[in-house]
């Protein structure tokens, strides 16, 4: 798969942060383990070979403590087919649930968790509903919510977020929010420059 263009499925964010269900799914499908890395304050990542062109990943997000799984491969149809096979087998939040959690009335810390799950579970390609939920959070009155929204934009990997993040980075009233947005803008710009 070296040198190829890679495609990623949507990440399925587990309802219960535990990698054992990914291990169970991989075992049931007979996928060979390619090993793991991380642990002790680093993200845990487990990887299995689905076929010669597709891998199945289970990753812990250190910032949020959430676990998610996804497929990566050089052929979009291989990634899509593998995702369809396991979508119903993993106890994960649906897209609708991820979006609804952002709009729910809840204490700020719960809303921050919802934002991390939204970012992790966002589709690889731009999606209006996810974008709208993200924008509501980015304009929230509570700076903790705005800062979390700015940080989770990095998970979404959508260039459409960059103009809004630049505005937040230069003009938000809270220094922490500006700082989070500046970091994500820097990551986006580095990725853009690397792609050229």
- Same domain, yes or no, for 101 and 145? yes
Domains contained in the chain, number: 2
Q: How far apart are CA 78 and CA 146, in angstroms?
A: 37
- Same domain, yes or no, for 100 and 179? yes
Identify the pLDDT of residue 1: 44
- Same domain, yes or no, for 99 and 52? no
Looking at the DSSP assignment, which residues form a beta bridge with residue 36? 46
Domain with 174 in it? 95-195
CATH number at residue 79: 3.30.310
Q: Per-residue pLDDT tens for 120-172?
A: 999 989 999 999 999 999 999 999 999 999 999 999 889 899 999 999 999 99
Q: Which of 72, 68, 83 is nearest to 21 (CA)?
A: 68
Q: Per-residue pLDDT tens for 60-107?
A: 998 899 999 999 999 999 999 999 999 889 999 999 999 999 999 999
Residue whose structure tokens are 């809270």: 174
Query: Which strand (E) or helix (H) includes residue 33?
Result: strand 32-37
Q: Per-residue pLDDT tens for 10-32?
A: 999 999 988 899 999 999 999 99
Both structure tokens of 124: 């690889």
Q: Which of 47, 55, 58, 48 is nearest to 78 (CA)?
A: 55
């Amino acid at each position: 798969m070296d040198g190829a263009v890679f495609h990623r499925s949507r990440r399925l964010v587990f309802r219960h942060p535990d990698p054992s269900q990914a291990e169970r799914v991989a075992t049931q499908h007979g996928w060979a383990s390619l090993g793991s890395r991380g642990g002790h304050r680093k993200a845990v990542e487990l990887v299995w070979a689905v076929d010669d062109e597709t891998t199945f990943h289970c990753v812990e997000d250190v910032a949020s403590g959430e676990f998610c799984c996804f497929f990566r491969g050089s052929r979009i149809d291989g990634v899509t087919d593998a995702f369809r096979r396991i979508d119903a087998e993993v106890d994960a939040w649906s897209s609708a649930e991820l979006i609804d959690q952002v709009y729910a009335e809840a204490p700020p810390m719960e809303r921050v968790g919802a934002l991390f799950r939204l970012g992790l579970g966002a589709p690889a390609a731009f999606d209006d509903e996810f974008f709208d939920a993200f924008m509501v959070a980015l304009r929230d009155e509570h700076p903790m919510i705005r800062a979390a929204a700015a940080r989770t934009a990095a998970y979404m990997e959508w260039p459409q977020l960059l103009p809004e993040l630049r505005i937040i980075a230069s003009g938000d009233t809270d220094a922490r929010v500006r700082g989070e947005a500046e970091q994500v803008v820097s990551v986006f710009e580095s990725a853009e420059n690397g792609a050229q």
